[in-house]
Amino acid sequence: MIVAEWKPLPELLAGLKGYKNLLLVGCATCVAECAAGGEREVNTLAPTLHMALKNQGQDINIITRTLERACEPEFVEELAEIAPQVDAIMSLSCGIGMQLIAERFLDKPLLPGVNTTSLAIREAPGLWTARCRACGDCVLGETFGLCPVARCAKSLMNGPCGGTRKNGRCEVDENTDCIWYLIVERAKARGELESLNQVRQPKTWSNSAHGGPKRIVREDLRS
């Protein structure tokens, strides 16, 4: 899923200065799964913002909505009726949904309520960890299904750096596995440690963000 996190409250409050009517929008898809922008989080943030602003002497009316999928125009359309009543929209959807909302309601300032941070899984209750960075040149077939781009702090392609800790964790964070440690473990278990001996040449990054904004065309699907 796409994972996002609330922006720090002071940043949110600073962005709300001067507004009287706010539409706070969530999305029931990825950001609900990662507990950043689903209905529950919308309902949590609304009173929090309201109390905080009131304590700063600002009275604001917050209307809440949670869309099924903020990244699909037909769902965003559900805001058409309410949008004219507010002077700004704050979205807790991922950056994709936010842009669709901004595009649909061009006259309303769009305030991001979250930072979109990663493509991750829920590893355990209350714990999300990165799995993919949409690099555009997937190597999972060579790394036993473990992604070194997203899960190695240095995106190394040829094995572990010298920083792997004694317990197999990454030098950068004692709570994160060194992914190359795990890749080697898995290769061993499969009896294929030798497959990692081949030198992997520099990757082609241009099929992702590094090639400029991504644009995919499928002629068979064009209307």
Partner 1 sequence: MSSRVQTNLQKVLAAGHFAVTAEVGPPQGPNPEPVRAKAAILKGLADAYNVTDNQTAVVRMSSIAAAKILLDEGLEPVMQMTCRDRNRIAMQSDLLGASALGLKNVLALSGDHQKASGAGKLNGHPGAKNVYDVDSIQLLGIIKGLRDEARQQGGDAITEPAPFFIGAAWTPLGPPVEFRVPRLAKKIAAGADFVQTQAVFDLKAFAAQVKKAHEAGLTEKVAILAGIIVPRSAGMLTYMNKNVPGIEVPEALIARMKGAKDAKAEGMKVTVELIQAVRELPGVKGVHLQAIEAEELLAEVIPAAGLTPRPLV
Partner 2 sequence: MSKPPSPGFSPEIVVLYCRQTLDAEAKPPEGTRQGDGFSARLVLLPCSSKIEAYQMLAILDKGADGVQLVACPEKACRFLVGNNRAERRVAHARGLLSQAGMAEARLELNRAAELTPEDLMNLAGRHAGRIKDLGPNPMKGGTN
Question: Which residues bind to partner 2, rule: CB under 8 A?
Answer: 9, 40, 43-44, 46-52, 54-56, 59-62
In the stretch 77-116, what mask flags binding to partner 1 with x, by CB under 8 A? ----------------------------------------
Q: Is 149 in the site for ligand SF4 (CB under 6 A)?
A: yes
Say which amino acid occupies 63. Answer: I
**Binder among 5, 33, 87, 185 for partner 1 (CB under 8 A):** 185
Q: Is 190 in the site for partner 1 (CB under 8 A)?
A: no
Q: Is 171 in the site for partner 1 (CB under 8 A)?
A: yes
Residue showing tokens 């750096």: 161
Q: Are 93 and 101 in contact (CB under 8 A)?
A: yes
In the stretch 143-162, what mask flags binding to partner 1 with x, by CB under 8 A? ----------xxxxxxxxxx
In angstroms, the CA 108 to CA 115 distance is 20
**Binder among 83, 92, 98, 135 for ligand SF4 (CB under 6 A):** 135
Closest by alpha carbon to 75, among 108, 36, 26? Answer: 26
Q: Which does 179 bind (CB under 5 to 8 A by kind): partner 2, ligand SF4, partner 1, none?
A: ligand SF4
Closest by alpha carbon to 155, among 175, 141, 134? Answer: 134
Q: Is 197 in the site for partner 1 (CB under 8 A)?
A: yes
Q: Which does 200 bind (CB under 5 to 8 A by kind): partner 2, partner 1, ligand SF4, none?
A: partner 1
CB burial of residue 125 (10 Å; 0-12, 13-18, 19+): exposed
Please report how close the Cβ of residue 115 comes to partner 1 at its closest, in angstroms: 13
Rg (CA), the chain: 22
Please report how close the Cβ of residue 171 comes to ligand SF4 at its closest, in angstroms: 5
Q: State the residues that interact with ligand SF4 by CB under 6 A.
A: 132-135, 138-140, 147, 149-150, 152-154, 156, 160-161, 163-164, 170-172, 178-180
